[in-house]
Amino acid sequence: MRYMKPEEIDWNNLKFGYTRTPVNVRCYCRDGQWGEIEEHAEETVTMHMAATALHYGQTAFEGLKAFRCPDGKVRVFRMDENARRMQSSAEYLRMGVPSVELFCEMVTRVVTLNKEYIPPYESGGSLYIRPVIVGSGPQLGVKPAGETLLLMFVSPVGPYYSGGMKGISAIIDRTHDRAAPFGTGHTKAGGNYGASLTSALEGHEKGYDSVLYLDPAQHRYIDECGAANFFGIRVDAAEEGGRAHYITPASHSILPSITNKSLRQIAADFGMEVEARQVELDELNTFSEAGCCGTAAVITPVSTIFDPADGKTYRFGEGVGLWSKKLYDELVAIQHGEVEDRHGWNTVLDL
């Protein structure tokens, strides 16, 4: 695939998808030692046919963004958190574990090398960064590879909501589980997403935008919403002061979302009561707002959730709720340097 020159890109009509950029970066870990960072122009990776990534699912990934900001600088959001989460995934899957310093150096380099492809602030777009780590060494038996490849590529993407935030519909999946109770759900393993494809497609065939998973052990608690963390907003009655609660599920089978972690902190800054715990399915009745959150969209409002077990539909309004919009606006403003980065989340690059 030929990559487009920056001047050929229609920044104001950029979709959220893959666009080739000139350079990607790679680093190999062999015999427990990480080598030098390499710069590559090709999109393909040469890999042994017996690589453990191909046979045993020894692969994980991350996703983060860089933003061109009103002050002309570039901000990368919470790349140290992505580094630590990749460490957790790599360690659990028995791959070479990159240091936070190596991860961040590779992110900085791949953004810098492709800086012309960072969408202008006015477009609402960003530079999506995709780190991937795989067992690249050959094995015939089921055991870890002796070689690990960490690579990173970037793609300019448009705003997730080009026409404004809209609520989605979801159906509770009572046929499939996203992950096993003590499996890889807490990591960003590639296999977790492969396992969710059938569920997502079946949900779409039934007319729903997403699926809501229940906990794999008892099917009693809320787990995740598609490939994103779930949250609900509950507001106390006026006589109790009207305090708002940000409530999100927590368990070993749920991926620790960096966006969710950030929203929880912002919610606390706003004076909301933050609760990360097991969330009973029946609690959906108590939420005035619901949503899912992740790197791509930040927040996706959930308007309805249908439970095929009893035919009940939970409703949370047609669009984005008051508190969800407030949280979204604050997080996006931090990412773009428009408000104080009071928690030191951004890495600022003068590019």
DSSP state of 219: S
Which helix (DSSP H) or strand (DSSP E) does residue 110 occupy? helix 100-113
**3-class secondary structure, 285:** helix
> Could you tell me if 328 and 295 are in contact, meaning their C-beta atoms sit under 8 angstroms apart?
no
Residues 6+ apart with CB under 8 A from 155: 17, 18, 19, 20, 21, 117, 127, 128, 130
**3-class secondary structure, 267:** helix
**3-class secondary structure, 259:** helix
DSSP state of 153: E
Strands of the chain, DSSP E: 24-30, 33-34, 38-40, 59-61, 64-68, 74-77, 126-135, 147-157, 168-173, 210-214, 222-225, 228-235, 244-249, 273-277, 289-294, 298-307, 312-315, 346-349
Find the catalytic residue in 5, 73, 166, 188: 188
Rounded to 5 degrees, what are φ and ψ at 29?
-110, 115
Q: Which residues of 85-107 are buried (b: 16+ CB within 10 A; e: fewer)?
A: bbbbbbeebebbbbeeebbbbbb
| Whole-number Å distance between alpha carbons of 127 and 156 | 4
CA 31 to chain centre: 31
Structure tokens at 61: 């990934």
188: annotated active-site residue: yes
> Could you tell me if 188 and 86 are in contact, meaning their C-beta atoms sit under 8 angstroms apart?
yes
Residues with a catalytic annotation lie at 188
